[in-house]
Amino acid sequence: MWYNIKAKDLTINRTYKFSLWAKSETELIKILKSKKMVDIKILASTEEDWTPEWADSVSESTESILKEKQTFW
């Protein structure tokens, strides 16, 4: 399930809005707490096995294009 989240990172004291995939909300909270995230707010989630627009997914073809652009020679 995809989750759109807003949470505060205690390691740098900043709040971020991002997307993350987890099997359940319990697993999601466990992952975020292990990364020292607090003030966790789930803004949206999906029940289906598809990637919503707000998840900012990158397809495999896009990844290869990005890798090509990152080379400096």
Whole-number mean pLDDT of the chain? 78
67 CB neighbour count, 10 Å cutoff: 9
Distance CA 4, CA 66 (A): 24
> What local confidence, expressed as pLDDT, does residue 68 receive?
52
* Annotated domain spans of the chain: 2-70
pTM beyond 0.85: the answer is no
Does the pLDDT of residue 47 top 50, yes or no? yes
| Residue 21 pLDDT exceeds 60 | yes
**Highest mean predicted confidence (pLDDT) among 29-33, 52-56, 68-72:** 29-33
Provide, rounded to the nearest whole percent, the portion of the chain with pLDDT above 90: 48
